[in-house]
Amino acid sequence: MNDLAGKHIVLGLTGGIACYKAAELCRALIKEGATVQVVMTEAATQFITPVTMQALSNRPVYGSQWDAREPNNMAQINLSREADAILVAPCSADFMSKLLHGGADELLSLMCLARPIDKVPLLLAPAMNREMWAHPATQRNLVQLAADGATILGVGSGFQACGETGDGRMLEPEELLADVITFFHPKVLAGRRMLVTAGPTFEAIDPVRGITNRSSGKMGFAVARAAHEAGAQVTLVAGPVALATPRGVQRIDVQSATDMLQACVEHAPAANIFVATAAVADWRPAQASDQKIKKDGSGQTPTLAFVENPDILATLARSAQALSGDLFCVGFAAESHDLLAHATAKRVRKGVPLLVGNIGPATFGKDDNALLLVDANGTKELPHASKLHLARQLVAEIARRLPTALKK
- Domain count of the fold of the chain: 2
**277: in domain:** yes
Residue 274 sits in the same domain as residue 201: yes
Residue 169 sits in the same domain as residue 212: no
pLDDT at 6: 95
**366: in domain:** yes
Query: What is the sign, positive or negative, of the torsion defined by CA atoms of 287, 292, 296, 300?
Result: positive
User: Among 138, 154, 184, which residue terminates a domain?
Assistant: 184
Please report, for residues 26, 91, 324, 357, 388, the alpha-carbon distance to residue 57 in angstroms, rounded to integers and kept in the order given.
7, 19, 54, 43, 27
Residue 136 sits in the same domain as residue 202: no
Residue 316 sits in the same domain as residue 395: yes
**1: in domain:** no
Containing structural domain, residue 148 = 8-184
User: Among 127, 157, 184, which residue terminates a domain?
Assistant: 184
Nearest to 111 by CA among 134, 142, 132, 82: 82
Residue 269 sits in the same domain as residue 326: yes
d(Cα 21, Cα 11) in Å, to the nearest integer?
12
Residue 169 sits in the same domain as residue 266: no
Residue 328 sits in the same domain as residue 206: yes
Which residues is 156 bridged to in the sheet?
A: 169
CATH number of residue 110's parent domain = 3.40.50.1950
Interacting residues of 246 by C-beta distance below 8 A, sequence separation 6+: 221, 224, 225, 228, 234, 236
Q: Choosing from 19, 91, 112, 162, which is the catalytic residue? A: 162
CATH number of residue 207's parent domain = 3.40.50.10300
Residue 334 sits in the same domain as residue 254: yes
pLDDT at 141: 97
Residue 330 sits in the same domain as residue 204: yes
Residue 158 sits in the same domain as residue 45: yes
**17: in domain:** yes
CA angle 384, 234, 241 (to 5 degrees): 65
**199: in domain:** yes
**3: in domain:** no
Ranges of the chain whose pLDDT falls below 50: 405, 407-408
**326: in domain:** yes
Residue 67 sits in the same domain as residue 150: yes
d(Cα 276, Cα 264) in Å, to the nearest integer?
10
Residue 45 sits in the same domain as residue 179: yes
**343: in domain:** yes
User: Among 143, 164, 184, which residue terminates a domain?
Assistant: 184
Catalytic site residue 162? yes
Reduce the secondary structure of 280-340 to three states and give it as a string.
CCCEEECCCCCCCCCCCCCCCCCCCCEEECCCHHHHHHHHHHHCCCCCEEEEEEEECCCHH
d(Cα 191, Cα 383) in Å, to the nearest integer?
29
pLDDT at 362: 72
Please report, for residues 53, 161, 249, the alpha-carbon distance to residue 180 in angstroms, rounded to integers and kept in the order given.
19, 25, 16
